[in-house]
Structures are given as C-alpha cells and as structure tokens.
Amino acid sequence: MRYLPTIDLWDSATQAAVLSGSLKLQAGQWVKCGGERLSRYVKTTGRSLWVAHWQGTPAATQARFRDLLSAGK
C-alpha cells in the first residue's frame, strides 16, 4: 500500500471515512490535525483515531509514534 498525500483529519467527512473504513490509512501516514505541525496516523478502533502528535522534537514525536504502535497491538 502506498502512502497518500497528507490527509486532513480535522475535516469531519474525512474522519467519518477513516472511521467507517471507506478510507484506509496505513500506520505512519502523515495527517493534519489543526496547527502547523503534521501528525502520524497510528490506527482506528472503529470509534476513535489514534494519532501521534508533535511532541516538541522529531525524536520525541517518533518515540511517541512507536509507543502508540506498541500499545495498539
């Protein structure tokens, strides 16, 4: 599966599409959740979206992403 251009998760129609499964994203997909910094999509539970947001540094953000990946298994 290829990554898509950055997805705007603050758009309610896009959120609904991801939650319903009609728009499938893979872990690591860059997403926009307001603000200027990009976030990384982790997964959906069907009722909520797991996304790693900016943590102050690229290394801290990557660590948070890895932690969420591990927690979601």
DSSP string, 43-70: EE-SS-EEEE---SSHHHHHHHHHHHHH
Reported pTM:
0.90
Query: What is the C-alpha to C-alpha distance for residues 69 and 73, in angstroms, rounded to an integer?
Result: 7
* Residue ranges of the chain whose pLDDT lies below 70: 73
What's residue 2's pLDDT? 82
What's residue 27's pLDDT? 95
Residues 47-64 have pLDDT tens digits of 999 999 999 999 999 999
